[in-house]
Amino acid sequence: MVMILATNNLGKLKEIREILGEYKIYSLREMGIDVDVEEDGKTFLENAKKKAIEIYKIAQCNGPVIADDSGLCINCLNGFPGVMTHRFLGENVTDRMRNEYLINEVNKYTDRSAQVICNLIYYDGTNEIIGEGILNGFISKECRGENGFGFDEIFELPNGLTLAELSHDEKNEISARSMAIKDLKKKMNKILK
């Protein structure tokens, strides 16, 4: 079965292809689709579903679509930045600027706990299959690590390492996206076979 992944992110594409190896999965670019779906939902699932449905319509039934949305939710900040993880300070800021802002905000509290949440959806015009992954951790007191991107340098695991201090393979093994893909695969195998 051919599927379209609603992204051009090569890291996401590689990770999803590895776990869903029995399916042929193509990026938007590989399918000749050049569109950026506005993520204006109130939840990760709403954003993922919107992307899946819009890309499915554009692709004109060239195959089912898999779409995701994910982000960082900090408990002492009532789940902030959540769906705004990559946009809460605006467009022209660096990951480091966002991360330092979050550290300064979390430093006002004793609770440093946080989650990375990822929702994935498979959509084929009839079936909607949802996968979810949640990675629990903490916000570090400083930026640490050279591997990764986004908030990886401030998301600290229970073992004391940030995601940015893990190797690429180590991170992919435990990531919220990896959990969501595995969850989705299990549900797809029950429903689609």
Dihedral (C-alpha) 147, 151, 152, 158: value to the nearest 10 degrees? 160
Mean per-residue pLDDT of the chain: 92
**What does the pLDDT look like over 70-99, one tens digit per residue?**
999 999 999 999 999 888 898 889 999 999
Higher pLDDT, 118 or 2: 118
Nearest to 162 by CA among 97, 116, 105, 104: 116
User: Which DSSP symbol is given to 77?
Assistant: G
Nearest to 86 by CA among 76, 99, 105, 77: 99
Burial environment of residue 162 by CB neighbours within 10 A (0 to 12, 13 to 18, 19 or more) = buried
Q: Catalytic amino acids? A: 69
- In this model, does residue 1 exceed pLDDT 80? no
Report field, pTM of the whole predicted structure over 0.75: yes
Q: Can you tell me the distance from the alpha carbon of 178 to that of 65, in angstroms, rounded to the nearest whole number?
A: 18
- In this model, does residue 189 exceed pLDDT 90? no
Q: Can you tell me the distance from the alpha carbon of 166 to that of 151, in angstroms, rounded to the nearest whole number?
A: 13
**What does the pLDDT look like over 117-174, one tens digit per residue?**
999 999 999 999 999 999 999 999 999 999 888 899 999 999 999 999 999 889 888 9
pLDDT of residue 115: 98
